[in-house]
Amino acid sequence: MAVRAHGGTGGNETTTPTASEGSEGSVPRRLMAVATRLFAEKGFDRTSVQEIVDTAAVTKGAMYHYFDSKDDLLAEVYSRVLRMQMERLERIAYQELPVAQRVREAAADVVVTTIAHLDDATIFFRSLHQLSAAKQQNVRAERRRYHELFRSLICEGQEAGVFAAGVPADLVAEFYFGSVHHLSTWYRSDGPLSAAEIGDHYARLLLDALRPTAVGNIQT
């Protein structure tokens, strides 16, 4: 999270959060929550800084104390979910469990966490191109790290003979994440399935497709 230092000259804009804006920890959280909702509802380009600070009930100075720009808020929307998902995937991937179980847990987890942060996912695919080139590069690098670790689990299973090796692990990972990325286009919180149930179905579909007999049947 970028923190901007303001000088003491010129203007009346506050450089630090005021007492009425609550504790320091609550200000960035409020800003992030409001920005995420507005970006998802209206789009990044149609959401102004003034609208964000008014809705969050903070001053512009308070926002600029934590974020250099609206662009920084958008970058943080992406990064916070990617960081959280990466931490969870690392915990799953390095467990002393059979590789099929780790893949199943990882596959279900990315679905559940994506649904839990569906506004972030919506913003990600709608507005990523509006980040600066440098910030896009950073976000894509974080995303690649996640994909690489997931792909390494597929490779491990293929090398162990647990998964079919006929389809490259890269393609398996891209195919699966492609389906996850489309959750925001059809998922509804009032639908018949919970996030956990959808995650379980997705994971089971992936493991069924990776079974050597399943791939063998497709090839014949």
**Average pLDDT rounded to a whole number, residues 185-206:** 96
Question: Which residue spans of the chain are classified as CATH 1.10.10.60?
Answer: 26-67
What is the 8-class DSSP label of residue 193? S
CB of 38 closer than 8 Å to CB of 52: yes
Q: Which long-range contacts (CB under 8 A, 24 or more apart) does 181-184 make?
A: 181/121, 181/125, 183/111, 183/114, 183/115, 183/118, 183/121, 184/114, 184/118, 184/121, 184/122, 184/125
State the Cα–Cα distance between residues 191 and 135, nearest whole angstrom: 35
Query: pTM for the full model?
Result: 0.79
Domain with CATH 1.10.357.10 in the chain: 69-210
The fold for domain 69-210 equals Tetracycline Repressor; domain 2 (1.10.357)
Mean pLDDT of 26-34: 92
**Predicted confidence (pLDDT) at residue 173 exceeds the cutoff of 70:** yes
Could you tell me the CA-to-CA distances from 130 to 30, 31, 43, 52, 187 in Å, in that order? 22, 19, 11, 18, 25
- The span from the CA of 139 to the CA of 75, in Å, is 7
For the stretch 45-55, pLDDT in tens is 999 999 999 99
Question: Which is more confident, 64 or 24?
Answer: 64
Contact assessment for residue 1 and residue 71, using Cβ atoms and an 8 Å cutoff: no
Determine the 3-state secondary structure of 190 from DSSP: coil
Q: What is the mean pLDDT of the chain?
A: 86
Please give the pLDDT value at position 214. 53
Range name among 19-33, 111-125, 184-198 with the lowest pLDDT average: 19-33
Q: Print burial letters for 43-58: b (CB count within 10 Å at least 16), e (below 16).
A: ebeebeeeebbebbeb
State the Cα angle at 83 between 77 and 88, rounded to 5°: 130
- pLDDT digit string, tens, across residues 99-130: 999 999 999 999 999 999 998 888 877 888 88
- pLDDT tens-digit series, residues 119-159: 888 887 788 888 888 888 888 898 999 999 999 999 999 99
> Which pLDDT does position 213 carry in this prediction?
77
Structure tokens at 134: 């440098």
Domain formed by 26-67, architecture: Orthogonal Bundle (1.10)
The type of residue at 139 is V
Q: Which pLDDT band, with edges at 50, 70 and 90, does 25 fall under? A: low
Residue 167: which pLDDT band, with cuts at 50, 70 and 90? very high
How confident is the model over 86-97, as pLDDT tens digits? 999 999 999 999
